[in-house]
Amino acid sequence: MVLKYINKIIFLFMTVVGTLGNMSVSANYMFSWWGSPEKKPIHVILIHLAFTNIIILLTKGLPKTVAAFGLRNFLDDIGCKIIVYLTRVARGLSICTRSLLTVVQAIIISPRASGWRRLRPKSARHILPFFSFFWILNGLISMSLIHSITGTGFNISQLKNSDNYCYFMQESQEIKGIVLPLMVLRDAVFQGAMGGASGYMVFLLHKHHQHVLYLQNSKLLYRTPPELRAAQSVLLLMLCFLFFYWTDCAFSIILSLSSRDNTLVANTLEFLTLGYATFSPLVLIHKDGLLVECWHAQMEKLRKCLSHLYVQ
């Protein structure tokens, strides 16, 4: 009984905090993007990442929260298909977008003499085709879920693996043989690109650190460029993602190999699914001071508006 009560509180907390955090990050970068003459591609990618996190929290966290509080059969067959399909698509979008964010940031901080510098996106418009490709790719990979998801109003004896508000029916071996390799290939390719770009950024940041130590020994003043500070934030996001992704994989393997119903592992797995979507905006808010920056910007606008009214 106590465990169920704790589950309710944790699901509610993660859903509310994660949604508000991603909305704050998205709104801040939107204002920065519209208010700045230079449209930074990184801001567009972070907005898209926050949007995919919100989809995960609303389609995974919100139904789980409602189910944890005891409400059953609140989704019909079509509702279940839409919710679970969007959850799977958003998960794939999140992996692809994180990979794009890491690669673009690595290109941005690369030295001017480097050949990677020529691949630097000139504007935000150059990023939009990648988003279209990600949506189409993950939408097609997740199409099989439409036929294997059903609501609780159907004959439960023919269904497998209760998810509290929706049921997953057994997929055919032919569909599994197509979908699973595609998902594994997608994750391997994008995580490989993410890992390579992250290693390159670590190398560049190490060189920058050595340069800073040299200047400090020479008693020269040096400020860290904003691109390198952004690279540090991206690396923190990448480490946060790797922790939740591989811990999720480990618990999934444990649950699949377990011969009995392990409620604790299953609940932990659900929390890990929401983990990155909840904590990644908090990393950005803490590292970049987004809320403080946004608050000062709004107060400055208010001060100018009041001074203008006073003069009139």
* pLDDT at position 170: 67
Question: Under a CB-based contact definition with an 8 Å cutoff, are residues 104 and 127 in contact?
Answer: yes
CATH number at residue 18: 1.20.1070.10
To the nearest 10 degrees (0 to 180), the angle between helices 77-108 and 128-141 is: 140
- pLDDT recorded at residue 51: 93
Closest to 171 measured CA to CA, from 139, 140, 149: 149
Contact 145, 179 (CB under 8 A): no
pLDDT the model gives residue 159:
41
Residue 234: give the domain boundaries. 2-311
- For residue 150, the SS3 value is strand
- The pTM of this model reads 0.79
- Please report, for residues 125, 218, 287, the alpha-carbon distance to residue 278 in angstroms, rounded to integers and kept in the order given: 28, 43, 15
Q: What is the pLDDT of residue 158?
A: 43
Q: 3-class DSSP state for residue 34?
A: helix
**Total tally of structural domains belonging to the chain:** 1
What are the pLDDT tens digits along the chain (312 aa)? Answer: 666 777 778 888 888 888 998 998 888 888 776 766 666 788 889 899 999 999 999 988 888 777 767 666 667 778 888 888 898 899 999 999 999 999 988 888 887 777 777 777 777 778 889 999 999 999 998 887 777 776 655 444 444 444 456 767 766 677 777 788 888 899 899 989 988 988 888 888 877 667 666 555 555 555 556 666 677 777 888 888 888 888 888 877 777 777 666 677 777 877 888 888 888 888 877 766 555 555 555 555 546 554 554 445
